[in-house]
Every structure is written in C-alpha cells, then in structure tokens.
C-alpha cells in the first residue's frame, strides 16, 4: 500500500490551537508600536484571510473619515424658518398707538421704544425684518459673484466633476479656511482636496491609437456568368496543329483546341443564340469554345449584338 503523504501546514497554522492565526503589530517610521496588537484566528485559511481583509477595509474607511474631518471639519446648517410676507408700505397708526407712542417718547427711559414703533409703522414691517432683508440683498450680490467665480473655476478645471460630494467638500474647505469665493481660491481648494483623494475626478481622456486601414473585404461569391468570347483568352495552340489557321482572329481571340480525334469532322453549330449560351455552365461553355465551329458561331453572335 502506498504511504500517506502529510500535507504541509501553512505558516499561519498554530499547532497548539489547531487553528490558523495571524498577529500583527503596526509601527510608525521610528519603529514604535502604533495601536494594539492585531490578532486573528480562524478554522480555515480562507476565513482567516477574509477577517484580515475586513479589518483592512474598516481601517481604510476610518482613515478616510479622519482625513476628511481634519480637512473639512463639521458644518451645522440651521433649518430655514418660515416668516410672514410684508408689503413694506407705510402703515397708518391707530389712535391707541398714537397715544402709546406719545407716552413712550415723553419718558427718556422708553423713548427708544417709541421711536422703534414709529419706524416700524413707516417701513411697514418690524425693524428686525427690515434688517434681514437688507442683509439678504447683500447676500444676493455676493452669491452672484460666487456663481461667477464657480463658473470660471469649472471652465478652467476639466478634471473637476460636478457632483454633490465635491460641492460639499469644496464648500466646507472654503468655510474652514475662511477664504473668499474666487476662482483662484476654488482652485487652491481643489488642488488641496484632490491631493488627499477627497474629490471625485474626471479620468484623463486617452486617445485611441490609429489602427491601419483594414484590407478591403473580398467581394461575395456570385453566380457564374457566361463571359463574352471576345474578352476570354483563347486556349493554348497545340505544338502540332492538324491544320493551319491564324493564331488570333479579328476579334482578338486565339485558335481553340478541339477535343475531337484528328481527322474527325466537328459537329456544326447552327443557329446558336444567347439563350443557348446562358443555359450552359461556365465549364461547359469553356469546353465548347475549343470547338472552332462553335467559337466562330459565338463570335458572329456577339458581333451582331455590338
């Protein structure tokens, strides 16, 4: 009986635990330990490598989030509040309001409140609302400038991809670094974030190599046609002809060979027509051209056609 061959164990096999084991201690550039000892064990080598890959994926995601937070920080956006619409037209005071305002103006301690009520009646809205609208006008002007800067930045940066993630990262970078929204500053933000792989970038376009012109496809096979005898080369002349004839006729055709026995009389071809020729196959037609009488009849037939 053949002896059983022991399978070699993997370098990760722990004979004492009867399991596959990996333990790794990460270190910095100076060789000092970073973080706790990483230890993995499993019953099979495949499960062990899968656990190690999962830990690597989790670490990569955590590193990305840490770098993103360090670059962009956190920005809390307040929820918009609904507010009533004002006409901003002067509102006439009621009699009670006039008495109240007059009383407030007489006392120095309440005079400011009286002036406020008068102004709100003049503007047709609370002073806080008026201040907010003036601020909105200023913001609209700035937004217009920002939009123009963004258009210039996008036009000059073909690698940038317009998506929600990129817009959010650029905005947070600008706010964290207290930069004005100009095309130049947007370019700085793009280069800084792209260097840390925090932006989605457009892949560079690679021009396809110019391939040599493909050879012309061969014409598809078509049904055989009966050639014009005036355009068909004549068969070779035998070395010892049985009779003397010119090597080439007036139509340009040479003398044909006869398959008949020398001295035998070739059958006459009477009343040959184009229909008769078209009924023949190419091989049959080529063979009959060796008959001088048939060839002469065909020449006369095509001479009439011309």
pLDDT in tens, 77-88: 556 666 677 778
Percent of the chain's residues with pLDDT above 90: 21
Most confident of 100-109, 128-137, 217-226: 100-109
> What is the value of pTM for the model shown?
0.36
Number of domains, the chain: 3
Model pLDDT, residue 15: 79
Find the helix or strand (DSSP H, E) in which 215 lies.
none
Residue 196: inside a domain, yes or no? yes
For residues 143 and 200, membership in a common domain is answered with yes
Residue 216: inside a domain, yes or no? no
Helix (H, G, I), strand (E, B) or coil at 39: strand
Residue 295: inside a domain, yes or no? yes
Residue 57: inside a domain, yes or no? yes
Q: What's the residue count for the chain?
A: 306
Residue 180: inside a domain, yes or no? yes
Joined together, the tokens standing for residue 290 give 């060796």
Q: Which residue has the tokens 């008959």?
A: 291
Residue 170: inside a domain, yes or no? yes
Model pLDDT, residue 172: 93
Domain boundary among 43, 72, 101: 72
Output the DSSP codes for 198-211.
-S-BPPPP-PPP-P
144: domain range?
139-204
Partnered with residue 23 across adjacent β-strands are: 39
Residue 100: inside a domain, yes or no? no
What is the C-alpha separation between 93 and 83, in angstroms, rounded? Answer: 23
Residue 5: inside a domain, yes or no? no
Residue 259: pLDDT band by 50, 70, 90 thresholds?
very low
Q: Considering the chain, what is the average pLDDT of its residues?
A: 75
233-261 mean pLDDT: 42
């Amino acid at each position: 009986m053949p002896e059983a061959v022991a399978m070699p164990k993997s370098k990760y096999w722990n004979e004492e635990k009867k399991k596959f084991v990996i333990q790794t201690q990460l270190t910095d550039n100076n060789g000092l330990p970073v973080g706790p000892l990483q230890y993995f064990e499993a019953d099979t080598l495949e499960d062990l490598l899968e656990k190690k890959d999962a830990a690597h994926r989790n670490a990569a995601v955590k590193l990305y989030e840490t770098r993103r937070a360090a670059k962009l920080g956190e920005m809390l956006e307040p929820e918009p509040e609904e507010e009533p619409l004002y006409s901003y037209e002067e509102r006439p005071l009621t009699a009670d309001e006039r008495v109240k305002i007059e009383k407030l103006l007489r006392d120095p301690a309440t005079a400011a409140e009286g002036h406020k009520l008068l102004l709100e009646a003049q503007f047709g809205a609370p002073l806080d609302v008026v201040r907010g609208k003036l601020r909105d006008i200023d913001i609209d002007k700035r937004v217009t400038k920002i939009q123009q800067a963004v258009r210039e930045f996008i036009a000059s940066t073909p690698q940038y991809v317009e998506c929600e993630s990129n817009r959010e990262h650029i905005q947070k970078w600008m706010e964290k670094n207290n930069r004005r929204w100009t095309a130049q500053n947007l370019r700085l933000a793009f280069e800084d974030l792209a260097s840390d792989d925090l932006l989605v970038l457009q892949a560079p376009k690679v021009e396809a190599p110019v391939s040599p012109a493909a050879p012309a496809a061969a014409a598809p096979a078509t049904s055989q046609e009966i050639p014009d005898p005036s355009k068909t080369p004549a068969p070779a002349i035998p070395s010892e002809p049985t009779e003397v004839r010119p090597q080439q006729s007036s139509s340009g055709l040479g003398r044909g060979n006869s398959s008949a026995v020398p001295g035998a009389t070739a059958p006459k071809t009477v009343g040959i027509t184009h229909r008769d020729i078209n009924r023949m196959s190419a091989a049959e037609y080529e063979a009959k051209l060796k008959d001088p009488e048939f060839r002469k009849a065909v020449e006369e037939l095509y001479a009439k056609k011309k």
